[in-house]
Structure 1
Amino acid sequence: MAWLHGDMRKVIYPTDSYGQFCGQKGTPNADKAKLFYFNILHCANPAVLVNLQCPTVQLCVSKCPDRFATYLDTQYHYSRNRSSWDYYTHFCKPDFHNPKKVPSSVRENEWGKTHSHAHTLSDSWTHGLEEPQAPELTGPDGPRRVCSLTCSCQGSRPLCFICVCCEKSYKTQIKSVAQVLREEDCPSMLVPSRPFLQRCFPDFITRNGTLTVANRTDFKDGLGRNRSVLDLKNAANGISSLLEAKEVGMKIVEDYVSSWPWIVISLVVTMVISCLFILLLRFTAGILLWCVIFGVIAAVGYGIWHCYWEFDRLRGEPDSDVSISAMGFHTDIRVYLQLSQTWLIFMVSLVLVELVLVSILVFLRKRLHIAMALLQEGSRAIGYIMSSLFYPIITFLMLAICIAYWAVTAIFLASSGEAVYKVMSAQPNCKYANITCEPQTFSKSRVAAECPGSRCVFVFYGGEDLLHRHIVLLHLWNLLVFLWLANFIAALGQCTLAGTFASYYWALKKPDDIPACPLAASFSRAIRYHTGSLALGALFLSVVQFFRIILEYLDHKLKGPQNAVTRFLLCCLKCCFWCLEHFIRFMNRNAYIMIAVYGKSFCSSARDAFFLLMRNVVRVTVLDKVTDFLLFLGKLLISGSVGVLAFFFFTRRIPFIQEEVPTLNYYWVPLLTVIFGSYLVAHGFFNVYAMCVDTLFLCLCEYSPHCREGVGGGPGDERRLCGPPLLREQCPEKNLHQETTGEEERKTRREEGHGQRGVTENRSAHDVSLDRNEGCCAGNPCWSGG
Structure 2
Amino acid sequence: MKGNQIYPSAPPQELYYAARPPPYSWSPSPPPAQTIPTRPPLETSYKEGEEYEEVQPEPQKIARFRVRPDKKRKRHNPQLYTKRGCTDVFCCFLFLLFTAGWVVVAAIGVMWGDPERLLTPTDSFGRRCGTMRPNSYNYTTRPYLLYFDITKCISYATALGGCQTSQVCVEKCPSEYFSYLQLQSVSPAEFQSKVYSNLYCADNVDKSTITSFPVLRQLVQSKQCISYTVNSAPVLGRCIPQAIIGAADKVNDLQKTNISLDVLRNMFGDDGGMIPQDYQIKGSQVVVGAVVDGETSVLTKMVHDLSKSWWQVLTLIISAGVLAFVWTVIMRLLGSLMIWTSILVLMLGLLGGCGYSWLKWNALVKQGAVDDFSFQPMFSVYFEMPTTWLVVAIILSVMALIFVFILLFVRKQISIAVALIEESSRAIGNMMSTLLFPLFPFALHILVFALWGTITIWVSSSGQENCRRVPYPGALVTNTSSRCDCALSYQDTTCVFVTITKDEDIVFWLQVYNLFAFFWMTCFVAALGDIALAGAFASHYWALDKSKDLPSFPVLRALGRAIRYNMGSLAFGSLIIAIIKIIRVLLEYFEEKFGKSENAIIKNIFLALKCCFWCMEVFFRFLTKNAYIMMAIYGRGFFTSAKDSFFLLSRNIRRTVVVNQVAGLLLFIGKAMITIGMGVVAFFFFSGQWVVEGIPRVDLYYYFVPIVIVVIGSYFIADLFFDVYEMAVDTTFICFLEDSEQNDGSAEKPFFMSRRLQEILGKSNDSTVHPK
TM-score normalised per structure 2: 0.62
Which of 385, 394, 397 aligns to 2:431? It is: 385
- After TM superposition, give the deviation of residue 499 of structure 1 in Å: 0.2
Map of 2:112 onto structure 1:
6
Q: Distance in 2 between matches of 1:338 and 1:667?
A: 43
Per-residue CA shift, 1:580-616, capped at 9, x if unaligned? Answer: 1111111111000000000000000000001000000
The answer as to 2:672 corresponding to 1:636 is yes
Deviation of residue 42 (structure 1)? 11
1:495 CA drift (Å): 0.5
Residues 593 and 442 of structure 1: CA distance in aligned 2, closer, same or farther (over 3 Å):
farther
**Structure 2 equivalent of residue 38 of structure 1:** 141
Q: Which amino acid aligns with 1:725?
A: R
Per-residue CA deviation, residues 618-666 of structure 1 (Å, 9 max, x unaligned), is 0000000000111001111111122222222222233443752222111
C-alpha separation in 2, matches of 1:399 and 1:19: 33
Q: Which residue of 1 aligns with 2:168?
A: 54
Q: 1:104-131 CA deviation, whole Å, 9 max, x = no partner?
A: xxxxxxxxxxxxxxxxxxxxx997389x
Counterpart residue number, 1:549: 585
Alignment pair present for 1:244 and 2:292 = yes
Residue of structure 1 equivalent to 2:442 = 396
Higher RCO, 1 vs 2 (CA within 8 Å, ≥6 residues apart)? 2
Matches within 5 A, 1:688-767: 688-708=724-744, 715-733=745-763
**Residues 1:301 and 2:351 aligned together:** yes
For residues 544 and 700 of structure 1, do their structure 2 counterparts lie closer, same or farther at Cα, with a shift above 3 Å needed? same
Aligned position for 2:42: none
For the Cα contact (< 8 Å) 2:290–2:299, is it kept in 1?
no
Corresponding residue for residue 314 of structure 2: 264
Please name the residue that 1:128 is paired with: 208
2:606 corresponds to 1:503:
no
CA distance in 1, matches of 2:665, 2:624: 21
Query: What is the CA distance between 1:199 and its match in structure 2?
Result: 9.0
| Greater Cα shift, 280-289 or 311-320 | 311-320
Aligned equivalents of 1:654, 1:285: Cα separation in 2: 32
- Map 1:125-274 → 2, pairs under 5 A: 128=208, 197=236, 242=290, 244=292, 247-274=297-324
Larger radius of gyration: 1
* Aligned amino acid, residue 463 of structure 1: K
State how far apart, in whole Å, the 2-side matches of 1:342 and 1:471 are. Answer: 59
SS of residue in 2 equivalent to 1:54 = strand
Query: Which of 408, 419, 430 lines up with 1:362 in the alignment?
Result: 408
Structure 2 CA distance for aligned equivalents of residues 238 and 373 of structure 1: 48
User: Contact between 2:627 and 2:645, CA under 8 Å: does it hold in 1?
Assistant: yes
Give the RMSD, CA atoms, in angstroms.
Answer: 4.2
Task: Give 1:378 shift.
Answer: 0.6
* d(CA) in 2 for partners of 1:239, 1:625: 39
Tell me the alpha carbon deviations over residues 165-207 of structure 1, each in whole angstroms, 9 at most, x when there is no partner: xxxxxxxxxxxxxxxxxxxxxxxxxxxxx99747999xxxxxx
- Once residues 563 and 512 of structure 2 are traced to their aligned partners in structure 1, the CA distance between those partners, rounded to angstroms, is 28
User: What is the DSSP-based 3-state SS (H/G/I as helix, E as strand, rest coil) of the residue aligned with 1:496?
Assistant: helix
Q: Distance in 2 between matches of 1:16 and 1:469?
A: 20
Judge which range, 717-726 or 537-546, deviates more.
717-726
Q: Partner of 1:474 in structure 2?
A: 510
AA at the equivalent of 2:387: Q
1:277-676 paired onto structure 2 within 5 Å:
277-317=327-367, 320-321=370-371, 327=373, 333-334=379-380, 336-419=382-465, 443-445=475-477, 461-464=500-503, 468-557=504-593, 560=596, 562-657=598-693, 659-676=695-712
Q: Deviations over 1:309-366 (max 9, x none)?
A: 22112224556246xxxx4677864454343222212111111111111112222111
Change (3 A) 1:244 1:512: farther
C-alpha spacing 1:502/1:561, structure 2 compared with 1 (3 Å): closer
* Cα distance change on mapping 1:500 and 1:335 into 2, 3 Å: same
- 2:392 & 2:239 partners in 1: Cα distance? 62
**1:321–1:340 CA contact under 8 A, matched in 2:** yes
User: Structure 1 residues 437 and 521, CA, compared in 2 at 3 Å: closer, same or farther?
Assistant: farther
Q: Is the 8 A contact 1:545 1:581 kept in 2?
A: yes
8 A Cα contact 1:590 1:609, kept in partner? yes
Stretch moving more, 490-499 or 12-21? 12-21
C-alpha separation in 2, matches of 1:42 and 1:282: 58
Q: 1:385 to 1:55 in 2, by over 3 A?
A: closer
Letter in 2 for 1:720: P
SS in 1 for 2:465: strand
Query: Identity rate of aligned residues, in percent?
Result: 32
* Cα 1:127–1:555 shift into 2, 3 Å: closer
Q: Structure 2: which amino acid aligns with 1:370?
A: I
Give unmatched runs, 5+ long, in structure 1: 59-124, 131-193, 202-208, 211-236, 422-435, 449-455, 709-714, 735-774, 781-786
SS in 2 for 1:657: coil
User: TM-score scaled to structure 1, two decimals?
Assistant: 0.61
In structure 2, list runs of 5 or more residues that go unmatched.
1-103, 154-162, 173-204, 211-232, 241-248, 251-284, 481-494
User: What SS does the corresponding residue of 1:128 show, helix, strand or coil?
Assistant: helix
Change (3 A) 1:685 1:412: same
Q: What amino acid maps onto 1:54 in structure 2?
A: V
Partner Cα distance (2:406, 2:375) in 1: 37
Q: Give yes or no for contact 1:719–1:776 (8 Å, CA) kept in 2.
A: no
- CA distance, structure 1, for counterparts of residue 429 and residue 287 of structure 2: 54
CA distance in 2, matches of 1:335, 1:679: 40
In the other structure, the counterpart of 2:325 is: 275
Structure 2 CA distance, aligned partners of 1:650 and 1:386? 34
- SS in structure 2 opposite 1:663? coil
Deviates more, 1:35-44 or 1:299-308: 35-44
Q: Does 1:686 align with 2:722?
A: yes
The alpha-carbon deviation at position 14 of structure 1 amounts to 3.8
Count of aligned residue pairs for this structure pair: 536
Distance 1:489 1:126, change over 3 A: closer
1:440 and 1:776 map into 2 onto residues whose CA distance is: 98
Q: Report the 3-state secondary structure (helix = DSSP H, G, I; strand = E; otherwise coil) of the residue aligned with 1:364.
A: helix
Q: Is the CA contact 1:488–1:538 (under 8 Å) kept in the aligned structure 2?
A: yes
Change (3 A) 1:589 1:674: same
Measured after TM superposition, the shift of residue 531 of structure 1 is 0.7
Q: Structure 1 residues 335, 506: closer, same or farther in 2, change over 3 A?
A: same
Report the Cα distance in structure 2 between the residues aligned to 1:488 and 1:555, rounded to whole angstroms: 29
Residues in 1 aligned to 2:496 and 2:369: alpha-carbon distance in whole angstroms = 73
1:496-516 Cα distance to aligned partner (Å, 9 max, x none):
100010011111211321111
CA distance, structure 2, for counterparts of residue 328 and residue 437 of structure 1: 77
Q: How does 1:765-776 map to 2 (within 5 A)?
A: none
Deviation at residue 472 of structure 1 after TM alignment: 1.3
Q: How far apart are the structure 1 equivalents of 2:140 and 2:551?
A: 67
Q: Cα–Cα, structure 1 residues 330 and 487, in superposed 2: closer, same or farther, change >3 Å?
A: farther
State the match for 1:88 in structure 2. Answer: none
Quote the Cα distance in structure 1 between the aligned partners of 2:629 and 2:402: 32
Q: Is the 8 A contact 2:130 2:139 kept in 1?
A: no
Q: 1:126/1:496 Cα in 2 relative to 1: closer, same or farther (>3 Å)?
A: closer
